[in-house]
Homo-oligomer: A and B are copies of this chain.
Amino acid sequence: MSVAELDDPAGESTTPRPAVTRRAQRREQQTARILDAAKKCFVRSGFQGASMQEICNEAGMSPGALYRYFPSKESIIEAISEAQQQQDAEMLSAMLDNPSVIDGFVEASMAHIRKVHEHGTAALFTEVRAEAMRNEMVRTGCERSMHQVRDALRNYFQKALDRGDIRPRVDLDTLLTVMMALGEGLILNDLPSQGVPMEKIETLMRSAAISNLRPRGYEEQKIG
């Protein structure tokens, strides 16, 4: 009733016209509602610490209703860490089309750090990482999305390497691994929330990138 009133595109609330769509639409809404509530609860209490009752309360829904959308607590955890990682991976890969290797890398990293800070998802990120240590499904998803980011970065760096734009001291695989570890440390610590301004983070991020990638002509301009 209330739902029908809110979003009936043609205004024919009483007549059962839209047929296929309406139920599916509602399902999507409710699913999203549960995921939103669960995300809040998991940030607040952790994956293991949050109870289904807590999630139900947050979603304004009974357990019976909730279990129509997710078969288990674990399936919610999986859905959330999946979405979280997927979203991050996509965003990061999308940003790496800057022709300047240093700028592209630094900007992508900064955008990610900014987003995590703004959405307050640093806690969720940590939680996902901790859960990945023991839950195989979560770990698999985690690894998949990290590979996605890694491949995008590798492709990006490889092209710069072919152009002769960068001269890293180590092989590409090692370079990628350490660069990503660095990024994770920065995200985990959520530096902006500790009062470190973004410009300062960017400065050091850039200097670390320059040191590791050694792009043409940066030695004199930046370090000298």
| Stretch of A82-90, A154-162, A199-207 with 4 or more beta carbons under 8 angstroms from chain B | A199-207
Residues in A183-199 with C-beta less than 8 Å from chain B: 183-186, 188-189, 191, 194, 196
Interface size band for A: 35 or more
A169 B133 Cβ-Cβ under 8 A: no
Shortest CB distance A82–B (Å) = 18
Residues in A23-82 with C-beta less than 8 Å from chain B: 43-49
Interface status of A165 (Cβ within 8 A of chain B): no
Shortest CB distance A199–B (Å) = 10
Chain B residues whose C-beta falls within 8 Å of the C-beta of A191 in the assembled complex: 177-178, 181
A18 to B214, CA, bound (A): 67
Chain B residues whose C-beta falls within 8 Å of the C-beta of A212 in the assembled complex: 204, 207-208, 211
A170 B130 Cβ-Cβ under 8 A: no
Shortest CB distance A68–B (Å) = 27
Chain B residues whose C-beta falls within 8 Å of the C-beta of A170 in the assembled complex: 200, 203-204
Closest to A146 in B: B189
B194 A188 Cβ-Cβ under 8 A: no
A181 B189 Cβ-Cβ under 8 A: yes
Shortest CB distance A216–B (Å) = 12
Interface status of A175 (Cβ within 8 A of chain B): yes
Chain B residues whose C-beta falls within 8 Å of the C-beta of A181 in the assembled complex: 182, 185-186, 188-189, 191
Contact of A49 among B134, B174, B180, B201 (CB under 8 A): B134
B194 A177 Cβ-Cβ under 8 A: yes
- 17 other A-B residue contacts (CB within 8 Å) besides A170-B203, A182-B182, A185-B185: A43-B133, A46-B134, A122-B133, A123-B134, A126-B130, A170-B204, A174-B200, A178-B191, A178-B205, A180-B189, A183-B185, A184-B185, A185-B186, A185-B188, A204-B212, A208-B208, A208-B211
Give A residues with C-beta under 8 Å from B.
43-49, 122-123, 126-127, 129-131, 133-134, 169-171, 174-175, 177-178, 180-186, 188-189, 191, 194, 196, 200-201, 203-205, 207-208, 210-212, 214, 219, 223-224
